Chains A and B, each alone.
Chain A
Amino acid sequence: DAKTTQPNSMESNEEEPVHLPCNHSTISGTDYIHWYRQLPSQGPEYVIHGLTSNVNNRMASLAIAEDRKSSTLILHRATLRDAAVYYCILKDSGAGSYQLTFGKGTKLSVIP
Chain B
Amino acid sequence: EPEVTQTPSHQVTQMGQEVILRCVPISNHLYFYWYRQILGQKVEFLVSFYNNEISEKSEIFDDQFSVERPDGSNFTLKIRSTKLEDSAMYFCASSGLAGVGGADTQYFGPGTRLTVL
Contact = CB atoms under 8 A, between A and B. Distances in A.
Contacts, number: 71
Interface string A30-67: 11101000100011111001010000000000000000
Interface stretch (B11-19, B67-75, B78-86, B108-116): B108-116
Chain B contact-residue range equals 20 to 34
Interface residues of A, number: 26
Interface in B31-51: 31, 33, 35, 42-45, 48, 50
B106 A46 contact: yes
13 contacts: A42-B111, A43-B93, A43-B110, A44-B108, A46-B105, A91-B103, A91-B104, A97-B100, A97-B102, A99-B56, A100-B35, A102-B42, A102-B43
B95 to A, nearest CB: 9
Contacts of B45: 99-101
Given A98-B55, A102-B44, A49 B103 contact: yes
Contacts of A51: 102-103
A103 B91 contact: no
A30 B107 CA distance: 22
Contacts of A30: 102
A43 B91 contact: yes
A45 B108 CA distance: 6
Interface in A58-100: 87, 91-93, 95-100
Nearest to A33: B102
Contacts of A31: 102
B102 A91 contact: yes
Contacts of A101: 45
Nearest to A90: B102
A45 B31 CA distance: 17
